[in-house]
Amino acid sequence: MKYYTSLDLSEHLDKSELKQDTYYYELSLNKKHDLQSLNKIFNDEVSIASKEEFEVVSNYVKTLSQTDWIYLEQLEAIIKNGVETENRTDTDTISIFGTQNRYDLSKSFPLLTTKKTVLRNIITELIWFIQGDTNLKYLKDVNNPIWNQWRRPYNLNRGLAKVRIRKENEYVNCIYEKGDLIEVINKYAERLYNNELDVKLYKLWANLMAKAYLGTGDYSISKEWQDYDTFIKEVKSLPHWYYKTEDWDSFVLSNAYYSSSVFSKDTSVWLRKDEEELYLENNMIIKVTHYNGEVELYFNKEELNKHLGLDLEELLQKEYEELTPREKNIYDEFELSQIKEYEPSDGFVYRNKLIKDDDMGPIYGFNWRQFDYVDQLSNVIQEIKTNPNSRRLIISAWNPKEIDNMALPPCHTMFQFKVTNGKLDCQLYQRSADFPIGVPFNIASYALLVYLIAKECDLTPGEFIHTTGDTHIYVNQLEAVKQQLTRLPYPAPTLTIKDWNGVFNFTSDQVELNNYKSHKFLKMPVAK
């Protein structure tokens, strides 16, 4: 074998701004390579070198982040072998199906160095999951924006909405009181017609105002919304605005959701037309009272049965002693005698819980802690402590009957732990893997989870195995990906957990990241 090197490699080893077509994975220690690969990277003249010189460079490569080598190699494999396909986002992907990569957590923490990755957001999201929380309040309080793009009161593919009861807001009836309506409309027309979106909103506003002014719309407009500038600003902040912009004709500005006769910021929402009809036409619902006094309403018995995962009438016909443990849980949770047909009365309106509470539905953490009334996370931790050789150390986030109620069906669907020689390994199956954006986050997140569970069970972190189904790059991410492929990794960081007080009491200030050096952040578009 011949060994090649540049005339003076040492002066180039710290350089990061290299040729765009560089593929650093060729330096991976998992592959056969020689110093000709280095010459390709540094674009220098070559000369025959000694084996000793080769080993100097090879040893240097060994100090660099193995996580990055693995990751970059996978990126290049997707580009090389992937197939361009359409998907629900309307942005094509280049994808392959079925990959597996392994990361040794005993040596370093797998946080990418070829682009800056914000560990703080990873930590706080994981805390959110561990607590079983689905409400965005905690993430907002800690300035974590990663779920903001999925902020939606309902999932477009779900069934009929689950609703809750609340008192109607008092609102002043106010139609445009003075001036000629046409004059008001024309005041804004000329300056708005240079913006297509604003033109559409202008026409909507004008139509609403005209009907209110003429008394043909059976509604009024709040004083604030009688000013166009206020209207256009506030309607863009209403729930479902993203969907309106993506499918303008299918969504309408509705006050039916709140059973209100007023259009205002607090009484309006963008709704799909068929869902608005549901709120307008439905007069009979099922009222469910929890023993804690909380009231839930369902549009019909089928929806309630779907939520419970069983036939309620069959449950009521059984003696308590005959019930399964799960049926007993349901029986104990609800005051079943209070489940009855209920006709709405004046003064009450119905609204989706997800709008009020900023709730994402039964996503990851909820199913970790409440999958059909089972606390999977607590059970697995206890099983690791008492039966570490078990092959049943599994946590699933994929609950088929709840998929339609989730803001985002889980991409990382299930994971399994394995204890070997005092080390804790974890394998994650991820059905859909956005490799440029989501995967670096997922790798670090589940690695951190392994650190925490290992700490809780008096073990050491072992290996994280990441298995993916649809593994893809969005075509609008390609330029940024190619730029990342030109970056030489830095040495991998390490991570320590201090002041341990249990996994369920874990806080972000207990994490200490050591010696993390990375290239600059790479901006990439996020698919929704």
List phi, psi (to 5°) of 519: -70, 170
- Select from 434, 443, 444, 516 the least CA-distant residue to 481: 434
8 Å CB contact between 422 and 62: no
Radius of gyration of the chain (CA): 28
Please give the C-alpha separations between residue 514 and each of 83, 111, 449, 510, in angstroms, as whole numbers.
Answer: 39, 11, 18, 13
List phi, psi (to 5°) of 374: -110, 125
Q: 411 catalytic, yes or no?
A: yes
* CA–CA gap between residue 71 and residue 65 (Å, rounded): 10
State the DSSP H helix or E strand holding residue 100, giving kind and residue range, or none if neither.
strand 93-104
8 Å CB contact between 339 and 287: yes
- Of the residues 174, 411, 426, 457, only one is catalytic, namely 411
Helix 181-192 to helix 196-214 angle (10° resolution) is 180
| Amino acid in position 324 | T
**Low-confidence residues of the chain: pLDDT under 50:** 1-49, 153-179, 283-284, 338, 340-356
| Amino acid in position 275 | E
Across-strand partners of 290?
A: 334
- Cα 76 from chain centroid? 25
Q: Which CATH class is domain 66-151+360-514?
A: alpha beta
Task: Give me the helices (H) in 149-195, please.
Answer: 181-192
Task: Give me the helices (H) in 294-387, please.
Answer: 301-308, 312-317, 325-333, 353-357, 364-370, 376-386
* CA–CA gap between residue 252 and residue 257 (Å, rounded): 11
Structure tokens at 122: 């990873």
pLDDT in tens, 323-378: 888 788 777 766 555 454 444 433 233 333 334 456 787 889 999 998 988 999 99
- Select from 513, 505, 429, 500 the least CA-distant residue to 471: 429
- The full length of the chain comes to 528
Residue pointed to by tokens 């090389």? 80
Helix 438-456 to helix 66-81 angle (10° resolution) is 140
Please give the C-alpha separations between residue 420 and each of 381, 389, 400, 457, in angstroms, as whole numbers.
Answer: 15, 8, 32, 13
Please give the pLDDT value at position 444: 97
Any idea where the domains of the chain sit in the sequence? Answer: 4-62, 66-151+360-514, 153-357
Burial of 185 (0-12, 13-18, 19+ CB in 10 A): middle
Please give the pLDDT value at position 481: 92
DSSP letter at 362 equals S
- Select from 50, 40, 38, 51 the least CA-distant residue to 10: 38
Per-residue HEC secondary structure of 244-312 comes to: HHHCHHHEEEECHHHCCCEECCCCCEEEEHHHHHHHHHCCCEEEEEECCCCEEEECCHHHHHHHHCCCH
Please give the C-alpha separations between residue 506 and each of 1, 72, 127, 493, 502, in angstroms, as whole numbers.
Answer: 53, 32, 7, 21, 6
pTM of the predicted model as reported, rounded to 2 decimal places: 0.61
The CA angle 256-236-151, to the nearest 5 degrees, is 80
